[in-house]
Amino acid sequence: MDPLLFALPKGRLQDVLLDLLGRGGINVDRAGISRRLTFPDRDGRFAFVSLKPADVPVYVESGAADVGVAGTDVLREFDPDVYEPLDLRVGLCTMVLACPVDRPLAEGGQWRIATKYPRTAGRFFAAKNNHVHIVKLEGSVEIAPQLGLADAIVDLVETGRTLKENGLVVTETISPISAKLIVNRTAMKTKREGVQRLLADLDGVIYAHR
């Protein structure tokens, strides 16, 4: 059987995911990851590829990758046409609206909102019938209010440390976030056996920790 092409997000979630896969019996030689475009697991069931988090659904939707892992932050922002069969219960954090501690948002103001998630932020404010100006950034969003680029931010919070260090405070919780396994729609049928075995391996690990 051909290996499944498995797209993993780069960054802080990758080690957590490799631990999770290891507990499910899928073992990867981590030393080879940074130097190679794709890397196999020890049993040759998968060829892994390490991608920018927002690129994972692009690869899986197109079929360039069969399966992948993406946060619900990315999935709700880009809305890819993929299956989401399993919540992995890792990468847990919260999407929030936050503003400077010393400059609360004025009611009825035309707020400028800095974010990496313009569609998510747009939907959130549209549902409240609140007209805002969205400033799309690629990262380090927490600096924007201090420098006068925005009045508030929509971003992820995990420990809360980054908000605190930048003098920001949560004013509203938008949604809980977690990492999900995603599967290409065609691969779900044509590579069913491999996908089902992966789901069973991961489900066993997640179930054991419930």
Q: Which stretch binds ligand PRP (CB under 6 A): 1-9, 27-35, 55-63, 136-144?
A: 136-144
| CB of residue 19 to ligand PRP, shortest distance in Å | 18
Q: Can you tell me which of 18, 69, 157, 179 binds ligand PRP, judged by CB under 6 A? A: 157
**DSSP letters along 13-77, please?**
HHHHHHHHHHHTT--B-GGGTTT-SEEEBTTSSEEEEEE-GGGHHHHHHHTSSSEEEEEHHHHHH
155 binds ligand PRP (CB under 6 A): yes
- Cβ closest to ligand PRP, residue 13 vs residue 183: 13
> Which 52-111 positions form the footprint of ligand PRP (CB under 6 A)?
none
- Bridge partners (DSSP) of residue 177 are 93
- Bridge partners (DSSP) of residue 197 are none
Q: Which stretch binds ligand PRP (CB under 6 A): 15-23, 63-71, 96-104, 155-163?
A: 155-163
Distance CA 81, CA 29 (A): 31
CB 113 within 8 A of CB 135: yes
| CB of residue 190 to ligand PRP, shortest distance in Å | 34
158 binds ligand PRP (CB under 6 A): yes
59 closest CA partner among 187, 161, 170: 187
Give the number of other CB atoms < 10 A from CB of residue 114. 25
- Cβ closest to ligand PRP, residue 140 vs residue 196: 140
156 binds ligand PRP (CB under 6 A): yes
* Residues forming the site for ligand PRP (CB under 6 A): 139-140, 142, 155-162
